[in-house]
Amino acid sequence: MSEGAVKKEEKPRKFQAIRGTRDLLPPETALWSRVEQTAHEVFATFGYGEIRPPIFEATELFARGVGGDTDIVSKEMYTFVDRSEKLEPDPSIGSMNVFFQKVRELFKSGEIPTDEQDEAALKIAEDQWKKVDDLLEGGLKSESAGTEIYKLVLFYDALRLGTRVSLRPEATASVCRAYIEHNMQQLPQPVKLYYMGPMFRRERPQKGRYRQFYQIGAEILGGPDAPAIDAELIEMLMTFFDKCGLQGTELSINSIGHAADNCRRDYVAKLKAKLEKVKDKLGADSQRRIETNPLRVLDSKLEHEQPIIATLPRIADNLCDDCKTHYAAVKHELELRGVIYRENWRLVRGLDYYMRTTFEITAQGLGSQNAVCGGGRYDGLVELLGGPPTKGIGFAIGEDRLILSLQESGKAPVAQGRDVYIAWMGENARATAVRAAKTLRNAGFSVELPPVEQKFGKALGQADKLGAKYALILGDNEVTSGEWTLKTLADGTQRKVSEQQLLDSLQKM
C-alpha cells in the first residue's frame, strides 16, 4: 500500500450535528439574543423573576408532570440511567458476590430507586449468578456453560442500577418541582417565574420542529385563580410578541372546564359516547385516543375527520356555572387590556390537570408548524407533584419558530460589521496599533486588529470584506509624524488625526 493510501484510510471521521439538532450561528444568534433580551425586559416590567432549572431531572417527574399517556412521555423523551457511583462500573466475575450484595444495600437505602420490576430483575440476575458460580466450581465443564454466562451478561445489562433521568421535554414540571422544593408557597403569592432554554423531544425533524429546541416560558404559581391573572399573563405575552416585531399573530382562547368538578368529567363522558358512535369513520390515532384521551381528538388535523369533529359536542355548552363565569370574566379582562382574541372551542390540552383557560398563538410564515406558543391553567399540578394545593397558569413559547417567523418577515439582522479596521505595517506601528485598539474598544467601538502585518492594499480589501466603516492606517510615516490616517471606507475620503483626536473624531463621525 502506498503512503498516500494509508493516509487516506486514516482520515478522521467527519462529525455532524445529531439529527434534529443544529448550530445557531452568527448573524442569526444576534436575533436570538435580541429576542431573549426583549423577554427579560418585558417580563421584568410585569414583575417576573428568572428561574434556571436543570436540563435533566428524574424521569418520574416528567412522567407525572407531563402525563404518562402523552406522546412526549411515551415516546419522545431522551432517557438514560444515571448509574450509582457507589457501584463498581465493571465488576469482575470474581467479585460478583460482593457486587450483588452492594446492589441490595443500595436498593434498600433508596440510593437506587426501585419498583417491583427492578426487584424482579435483580432476583433473576442473582439467581443466574448462582448458577454460573456453581458451573465455575465445576471448572466450567458443562456444555451449557457458555449459554449460562451469556445469560448472566444479559440479565446484568438489564439491571437498572441508578436513577432514571430524562432530558427535559418542557419546563413546567421543573418549575413546579422547584416551587415545592424551595417552599415558595411561603413567599408573597403568587410567585411569577420565567425561564428560557433548550428542551428535548424525539420527534420527526422538519421545518419548525427539532429534537433540541428552545422555549421561553412563564408560570404563575399560588395566589387566587382570578381571571385577571389569566388575562394579564396573556397581555404580557402579546406585549412581548409585539416588541419582538412578530407579524400576523393570532390568539385563540378556550375554556376546558373544571377537572375536579363535574363539568369537565361530564363533558368528556358525553364526548366519548359520541366518539364511540363515529369510531369507524376516524383514523387510527383518534380511535386510540377515544380510550386514552378523548379531548385530544378535537386537536386532529386530519382532513377526513374534520366534518365529524364539527358534529361533536362542544365544551362551551357544557361548562358549569363557575367555569362559565370565569371564562366570561377572562374575556372581559382581555378586552379591558385591548387584547384581541378569537375563541376556538377545539383548543384543548390533553392533560387532566389542565383546566379552564387554554390558549395558543400562531404567527405567519411557518407553514403547518405555525403555533408559536401554547399555554393554560393547571391548578392541580403542584399538588400532583407532592406540593400543597396551588393555583397555576403558564405558557411556553417556541423560540425557534418565533425566530423563523421573524426571519420570514424580513426581521433578520445583517452580519455584524466592524467600526474600525486597523491597517498597520512595521514594528513601530504594531505597538501603536495595539494601543489604539485598546483605547477604541474601551470606548465601545468594535475593532479588528490583524494579528500579522499585511500590505496596506490587502488590509483595506480585508476591511471591506468585513464591512468595516473606517480604516485606521498606521505605517512608519504616521507613527513618526504622529499624524494618523483615518479613512472612511464607503466614500474613500481620508483625514489626518492625532492620537488625542482619534476618539473624538470617531465619536463625531
Q: Which chain residues interact with ligand ATP by CB under 6 A?
A: 170, 201, 203, 208-210, 213, 215, 369, 371-374, 396, 398, 400-401
CB of 360 to ligand ATP, least distance (A): 7
Q: Which is nearer to ligand ATP, 369 or 485 (CB)?
A: 369
CB of 206 to ligand ATP, least distance (A): 9
Q: Which is nearer to ligand ATP, 296 or 487 (CB)?
A: 296
Contacts of 300 (CB under 8 A, 6+ apart): 283, 285, 286, 306, 309
Q: Which is nearer to ligand ATP, 128 or 286 (CB)?
A: 286
| Alpha-carbon distances, residue 103 vs 83, 85, 93, 94, 313 (angstroms) | 11, 11, 15, 16, 54
CB of 209 to ligand ATP, least distance (A): 4
Please report how many Cα atoms fall inside a 13 Å half-sphere around the Cα of residue 469, on the Cβ side. Answer: 11
b/e map 136-151, b = 16+ CB within 10 Å:
eeeeeeeeebeebbeb
CB of 190 to ligand ATP, least distance (A): 21
Q: Which is nearer to ligand ATP, 401 or 418 (CB)?
A: 401
The CB-nearest residue to ligand ATP is 398
Q: Left, alpha or beta for 351 (phi > 0: left; psi -120 to 50: alpha)?
A: beta
| Helix axes of 145-158 and 116-137: crossing angle, nearest 10 degrees | 150
Phi and psi angles of residue 20, each rounded to the nearest 5 degrees, phi first: 85, -5
Q: Which is nearer to ligand ATP, 65 or 162 (CB)?
A: 65
Q: Which is nearer to ligand ATP, 360 or 478 (CB)?
A: 360
CB of 361 to ligand ATP, least distance (A): 8
CB of 222 to ligand ATP, least distance (A): 22
CB of 330 to ligand ATP, least distance (A): 19
b/e map 13-31, b = 16+ CB within 10 Å:
eeeeeeebeeeeeeeeeeb
CB of 391 to ligand ATP, least distance (A): 20
Q: Which is nearer to ligand ATP, 168 or 391 (CB)?
A: 168
CB of 123 to ligand ATP, least distance (A): 39
Q: Are 360 and 376 in contact (CB under 8 A)?
A: no
CB of 281 to ligand ATP, least distance (A): 23
CA proximity to 259, closest of 64, 361, 391: 391
Q: Which is nearer to ligand ATP, 402 or 437 (CB)?
A: 402
Distance CA 173, CA 358 (A): 17
Q: Which is nearer to ligand ATP, 192 or 201 (CB)?
A: 201
Contacts of 399 (CB under 8 A, 6+ apart): 32, 35, 36, 196, 213, 214, 215, 216
Task: Find residue 64's DSSP bridge partners.
Answer: none
User: What cell numbers appear for 189 in the block?
Assistant: 403569592
- Largest Cα–Cα distance in the chain? 96
**Based on the number of CB atoms within 10 Å of its own CB, is 160 exposed (0-12), middle (13-18) or buried (19 or more)?**
middle
| Alpha-carbon distances, residue 267 vs 47, 227, 256, 263, 291 (angstroms) | 37, 22, 9, 6, 15
CA proximity to 377, closest of 234, 199, 196, 239: 234
CB of 505 to ligand ATP, least distance (A): 48
Distance CA 475, CA 433 (A): 10
Q: Which is nearer to ligand ATP, 29 or 252 (CB)?
A: 252
| Helix axes of 399-408 and 28-45: crossing angle, nearest 10 degrees | 120
CB of 75 to ligand ATP, least distance (A): 13
Q: Are 445 and 420 in contact (CB under 8 A)?
A: yes
Q: Which is nearer to ligand ATP, 201 or 487 (CB)?
A: 201
CA-atom Rg of the chain in angstroms = 32
Q: Which is nearer to ligand ATP, 66 or 468 (CB)?
A: 66
Contacts of 236 (CB under 8 A, 6+ apart): 42, 43, 46, 48, 218
